[in-house]
Structure 1
Amino acid sequence: MRTLRAVVTLSTALQAWAVTISTRKSLRFAPPRPEHYFVTEPQSTPALAGSDPLEVAGAFLRSHVESDYFIRDDSYTDTNTGITHVYARQRIDGIEVADGDINLDIYDGRVLSYGDSFFSRFPTRRQLASPEFPRHLLFWHRSRRSRGLLSPTLRSTARRRAAGHCCGLANGTNDPRRAALYFMIYAHPDSSFSEDLARDFNATLARMTVTYERGDSHSSASLSGTISGLPGAVSSVKARVVYVQTLDEQGGVELHATWRLEVEMTDNWYEAYVSTKDPSILVSVIDWVTDSPEPVSEEHLNALEAKSRRVGQPEWGQRTVEPASYDAKASPLGIGTERDKGPYLNFTTTWGNNVFAQENLAGRSEWISNYRPDGGESLKFEFPYGVKEGLDKSPEDYLNLSVTQLFYTANMVHDLYYRYGFDEAAGNFQQDNFGRSGRDGDAVIISAQDGSGMNNANFVTPPDGQHGRCRMYIWRTATPYRDGALDAGIVIHELSHGLSNRLTGGPTNPSCLGWGEGAGMGEGWGDFLATTVRATGANRHDHFPMGSWASNMKDGIRHFIYSNDTSDNPSMYETLNGLDYWIPHSIGEVWAEILWVISQRMVEIHGYSPNLFPPQPLEDGTVPLGDFYRQSPVGERMVPKHGNTLMLQLVIEGMKIQPCRPTFFNARDAIIEADKRLTGGENYCLLWNGFSSRGLGKNATMKITDPWGGANHTNGFEIPEECMSQ
């Protein structure tokens, strides 16, 4: 990998972290991405009508790749589109290449599109070595910039104090315990805890155990195991030897042998890649937990100022009593029914098949026995809010309302996304999948008034079959304090991370949006979807802030409100070059604004639906067209007929089409491809005009400028020739 100058030792970096103020530390780092491709119109894909999609995928892969591979078992056929999404993972000498992915979309015997990040040169032994390069350390801490958003500061180190407390790296090179222990020294938020681990390295190592497994159905030569006893971890650590693609000093690509570790901590869940040759080298790390940023500063705690700038989500209208179940197709037994390898159980609390909602005032990892409101036999969940501005009333006083609101919102989001294609096969979150494919046992665990943080929220997306977890915090931005569970925009934003992470790259590969533009777009999709859901009725033409009520700031927690007007939101593709725009939330603001502008254009042409939910299925299971759908001109599918619902459909289907670790260009092309498949390309020019209006036209460019993924973005306003007259 390209040589980078060491600037700080590990102990210094940990001291620097100790003096910052933040609710959560998060490591995120990845090598520069090797060359990859995303092709929406393959030239040589002869149709094999009637063929098994996996046979079509096999024929395509045999003609396009030289190395070995396996088809991941989370490949699936979309129940809405009939398109089969096939995910292939590269394997060399029997060892998996963690970032070697090909995703194929197959329909009627033909490959419609594919993304390819396979290692393209058959490697020599030199290329399979573990090259020496500086250790990388990434800390998140508070920035004192104008808006006070969380910003990452990069530190790299050539030597660590920890190294002085352990013996010969050559000894036990293939011992994953060493890799896990070094990673915990890097990752733990408490600097004194990390120093203790470094000082007592060998003694700590001796107390840890590992159970080895040799190979599996996909990777016969891979060494894997389970590590127990790692201090700082809240569960056993899964470890597996894999390759990661890195750049050498000449800019070429080579493979680095690493231990892939899944490390669950109190406030993080890491997918980390640590060198097998030198376990002090951290090659790559992704945090499956994503945050919302904090508000500007504690200057906004003043009650009088809070009152003068108040924009409150609870004050948008009167509270109403809503039905307990949103959608019979998405939640056929209602939202309060669940089973665990036994008979179905009907609960009278906020415990159901899609969501487990409860308080977590103590901020613990434990959640099963935490308090939940009980609606009794009548299932009546009606609780008062009763907060008036300026009264020092604790959010605990309306805890029942808070948990109930979270349960309601999370189930609504589950059912809504289900109807647009995020179902069991696609990797959604359900305790029981009713035999509809996918991996179950992964209802969302969502905590109200979580005591582990403040002025924030987060969501963790592990692979399909493992619980998603969402934490909503109290915001110290007004008197009384405000409860993030009551700010629908923040809740929907966080839950949407589960959608984008499971759909991009496949249900069991949640790392695809872990870094760079992909991570930024993950934040952007959350904002766009939250804005789309909230933009109903008379307020659909309003300007929309994010987190305005929780933060007690009229314009919310982003640089600009979301608006079709460039005087209110001037974001362009080139905005990504700004100093404040290299962190995920800022990148996401640009992406969300582009999508919002296009969505408004779709509404201008196709009209607006006040209800985002499709019609309920008939007794025979079919869904009527109603006033919601029209027949597709290119197939048997039904097309949402209104602009806001059609845009929602295209965005979600675009996530399934785009490759792992997508760029803005990839995501743009995937949405345009989704429209081609759904409507025959009726909105081709509308989409191109919308993207180009914010600088993401055909001639927009991005050039990588540094090894950490920094890039220079250039606006492009060019549209296809056939669209110039429109």
Structure 2
Amino acid sequence: MKPLPIAALLALFLSPTTGHSTRKSLRFGPRPITRFVTQPHSTSAAASAHPFDVARAFLHSYIDSEYFIRNDSYTDGNTGITHVYVRQLINGFEVADGNINLNVRDGQILSFGDSFFRGSPQSISSRPMMSHASYCGGLAHVSEAAAQTNTQVTFSDKTRARDEAYMRVCAQPLAAVKAAIARDSCSTCDELRRAALYFMIAAHPDELVVDALANEFEAVRHGIHVTHELDQDLRASFLVSGLPGALSPVKARVVYLQIPTESGNTKLHATWRLEIEMADNWYEAYMSVNEPSVIVSVIDWAADSPTPRLDGHLNALEAKIGMGPPGAHSKTGSYKVWKWGINDPESGERTVESRLYDRLASPFGWHTVSRGNNPEGSPKWVASDTYLNFTTTWGNNVFAQENWEGGQNWIGNRRPEGGKSLNFEFEYGVKDGIEKDPKEYADLSVTQLFYTTNMFHDLFYRYGFDEIAGNFQQDNYGRGGRDHDAIIANVQDGSYYNTASFMTPPDGQNPRCRLYIWNTATPYRDGSLDSGSVIHELSHGLSARLVGGPSNSGCLGWGESGGLGEGWGDFLALIIRSTSQEANADELTIGSWITNSTNGFNHSPYSTNATVNPSTYETLNEVEFRNLHGVGEVWAEILWVVLQEMIKVHGRSPTLFPPQQLEDGTTPIGDFYRPSQPRKPLVPKHGNTLMVQLVVSSMKLVPCRPSIFDSRDAIIEADRVLTGGENLCLLWKAFSSRGLGRDAKLHGGGPWDMGKHTNGYQIPEECA
């Protein structure tokens, strides 16, 4: 191919590109040895001792390595547990996957997760034993291996999809990197610029752009600039600007990564840790310092729904959010929507809903942003003082709008206007079999997404996904955590068809939620109107911020851990739907309306009936389930079975929403909570509400990159610290009924091999 001049290369990034209907996504890496310990033996301290002092005393006796306590550690107001996040230091550098998370209450270490490197500080590998090439070599020898790439496809297209997936994430990127190496005239200089450019050559989805970057390697490298800075955690780091394909300057620093050796041991390897925001990906990538062309590990903070195959085009989406002080009150609105719990237009009628927002979660309503925190170029506002009250779908928790062009300029896009009365009532007018352009009802769609996202925010705030835990708010009202991360939610996004995605950067950066049109029926269907799918996507944000702490978005990146994120998303959508709408339903699916298919995204409906859904832990051995969404289906099915057992014993609440706080700041018990006890957290009394609390709390307890076993144990541990363990036997019996008993086993497992799963049905002796 003839090299392109730089001007032509720039034009490639400024013009729309045609390509695949599915995102290209790289995600692989070594999983360090990790363990989750419940009820550890530790020295008791006074109940009044500061949790950090308790943590330091434990660490002093437990490890020899240097470390620091991350500043996103926090105390959970719902449970009283302090979650302390510890990062390992060796030779003055962070071990990026060397984490300990300690769960502390009343002077005791309740449980902890540990992935610290245990070798000698001199055990440094000069060459990366794990790489993009070795990952692809493993894929080539594993049946149905392309499913592990997270390129989403329908099962009827497996063979073609497998071949195409391998080409997109392995063959083409590796060939392009090899071509770039041949044109790299300086093998020892500018390692960071070279590392960033090599990663973009491997990761960019457009083949023309990739070829241009590889052929013009030296010219492009000279156009990239590096500056030094201290990041928001006061760590020495770098900013890389001018990297083609990146929407914002790349954040970079040197860290160690744990990698396996051929002898089965573990060594450290020095890497450049890069945060690269792209149009359809947000990567946490690790490039070898010694060999900057080698990707050692990569996590994509974006998560997708499974999608059929259709042609689409790739475009950029960017967010530049201002900073400033807190905000104030906004009046309530009224919204004509499919109310909370109604899954889709075929499941119920629209009604006008008002007086919705939770006074604790959204104290100033859904339509107010403080002046200092309001993004530049925002819609017009009503008040002109410190508190900006908006009359459109713009507020502290979410900015919702259409994005028909699939482009970067979301701030100026169309939003429905509710007027000073905040009246959002718009016509739908869709009839089966009659074509209708979704743009004609875009105001309704944006309203629906705005409503669903705010309801999700307010509900899970009350279960512990609040500011200090890393939730999504433009203004945190001085209640902890980092501001400036309301959700950017796009309706009818024009960059793809037949999918949905959610990108979750660390706390203090705006996530992106994108919903698309589905051409699976006539007329086409709008993904924002399928609340189960929307809640699934929003749940990716919840789990990404809770597992491993608010500032670590890389804990659910791939493998079994990534599958847990998918499963939690399905389960939370199911429990919301079954509680609010279909109290007796035991056969539910995710995505059946938007896909226009009986089972939606699922192999079988979620059901306690083993004839309808026979999934057990061993189901993960089946080819169809050896991928992120397959793992998620099995995990969600097991949780669904556990939920029904909890409901049998504790009953079902007609709502998942706790009572509104009173003016004095107290929470009424009502029929929602058990009678309160001094110095004890409030405990939901019904099976469904208690299960939501246990699942949310368990996400905070598990280690980074958890396994299914870790997540099972964390739910049991959450019950122990919340109820004293009164549901111990119920939970073990329910888990074991689907093969997840104490003697269940996983043999093997790695970045490209999910191992062999063996059912176990053993329960504790006291439960026999």
Give yes or no for TM over 0.5.
yes
Matching residue of 1:396:
439
Q: CA deviation at 1:617?
A: 0.9
Q: Select 1:609's aligned residue among 620, 639, 653.
A: 653
1:222-241 equivalent positions in 2, closer than 5 A: 224-241=237-254
Match of 1:127 in 2: 124
Q: Does 1:657 align with 2:701?
A: yes
SS of residue matched to 1:629: coil
Partner amino acid, structure 1, of 2:185 = C
Does structure 1 residue 586 correspond to structure 2 residue 630?
yes
Residue equivalent to 1:317: 348
Alignment of 1:247-646 (within 5 A): 247-295=260-308, 313-323=344-354, 325-341=356-372, 343-536=386-579, 539-542=582-585, 543-631=587-675, 636-646=680-690
SS state at 2:240 partner: strand
Distance, in Å, in 1 between the alignment partners of 2:654 and 2:417 is 32
Do 1:446 and 1:469's aligned partners in 2 also have CA atoms closer than 8 Å?
Answer: yes
- The aligned amino acid for 2:354 is P
The CA distance in 2 between the partners of 1:495 and 1:377, in whole Å, is 29
Q: 1:267–1:593: structure 2 CA closer, same or farther, 3 Å change rule? A: same
Are the counterparts in 2 of residues 454 and 473 from structure 1 also a CA contact under 8 Å? yes
Cα distance in structure 2, aligned partners of 1:439 and 1:142: 33
1:212 shift after superposition: 2.1
CA distance in 2, matches of 1:555, 1:130: 47
Counterpart in the other structure of 2:22? 23
| Aligned-pair CA distance for 1:49 | 2.6
Among candidates 157, 171, 178, match of residue 189 of structure 2:
171
C-alpha separation in 2, matches of 1:284 and 1:544: 37
Q: Which amino acid aligns with 1:170?
A: T
Native 8 Å contact 2:543 2:565 kept in 1? yes
Cα offset, 1:323, TM superposition: 1.3
Confirm or deny: 8 A CA contact 1:289 1:458 kept in the other structure.
Answer: yes
Q: 1:682 aligns with which of 723, 726, 734?
A: 726
Q: For the structure 1 residues 218 and 703, does the alpha-carbon distance in structure 2 shift closer, same or farther, using more than 3 Å as the test?
A: farther
Q: Is 1:145 matched with 2:189?
A: no
| Alpha-carbon shift at residue 214 of structure 1 (Å) | 7.2
Where in structure 2 are the equivalents of 1:24-103 lying within 5 Å? 24-31=23-30, 33-103=31-101
- Structure 1's unaligned 5+ residue stretches are 1-17, 299-310
> Is residue 155 from structure 1 mapped to residue 173 from structure 2 by the alignment?
no
Aligned-pair CA distance for 1:59: 1.0
Aligned to 2:755: 711
Evaluate the alpha carbon distance shift between residue 416 and residue 146 of structure 1 in structure 2; reply closer, same or farther with a 3 A threshold.
same
Query: 1:98-109 counterparts in 2 under 5 A?
Result: 98-109=96-107
Tell me if structure 2 keeps the 8 A contact 1:374–1:381: yes
Farther off after superposition, 131-140 or 567-576: 131-140
Q: Could you tell me how far 1:35 is from its partner in structure 2?
A: 1.8
- State the distance in 1 between where 2:415 and 2:230 align: 43
Instruction: Please give the alpha-carbon distance, in whole angstroms, between the structure 2 residues aligned to 1:132 and 1:59.
Output: 36
Instruction: Read off the aligned partner of 1:194 and give its amino acid letter.
Output: V
How many positions carry a matched residue from both structures? 688
Q: Measure the CA separation in 1 of the matches of 2:150 and 2:185.
A: 30
Distance in 2, matches of 1:632 and 1:328, equals 21
Shift of 1:515: 1.3
Shift of residue 540, structure 1, vs aligned partner: 2.3
Q: TM-score, normalising length from structure 2?
A: 0.86
- Mapped to 2, the partners of 1:61 and 1:654 lie a distance apart of 22
8 Å Cα contact 2:310/2:497 also seen in 1:
no
Q: Match of 1:516, as an amino acid?
A: G
The DSSP-based 3-state class of the residue aligned with 1:639 is: coil
Q: Distance in 1 between matches of 2:195 and 2:611?
A: 51
Residues 37 and 240 of structure 1: is their aligned pair in 2 closer, same or farther, counting only changes over 3 Å?
Answer: same
- The amino acid across from 1:332 in the alignment is P
Measured in 2, the distance between the counterparts of 1:563 and 1:698 equals 23
Please give the alpha-carbon distance, in whole angstroms, between the structure 2 residues aligned to 1:641 and 1:215.
44
Secondary structure of residue in 2 paired with 1:113: strand
Q: Aligned partners of 1:23, 1:36: CA distance in 2, in Å?
A: 32
Q: CA deviation at 1:341?
A: 2.2
How far residue 528 of structure 1 moved from its aligned partner, in angstroms, is 0.2
TM-score (norm 1): 0.91
CA RMSD of aligned residues (A): 2.2
Q: Is the 8 A contact 2:369 2:475 kept in 1?
A: yes
Deviation at 1:619, TM superposition (A): 1.6
For residue 34 of structure 1, report the CA deviation from its aligned partner: 2.6
Are residues 116 and 142 of structure 1, via their aligned partners in 2, closer, same or farther at CA, if it must alter by over 3 Å? closer
Matched to 1:322, the amino acid is E
Aligned counterpart, 2:10: none
Q: Whole-Å Cα distance in 1 between the matches of residues 703 and 606 of structure 2?
A: 27
Structure 1 position 657, deviation (Å): 0.6
Deviation of the 1:80 alpha carbon: 1.3
Give the Å deviation of 1:436. 0.6
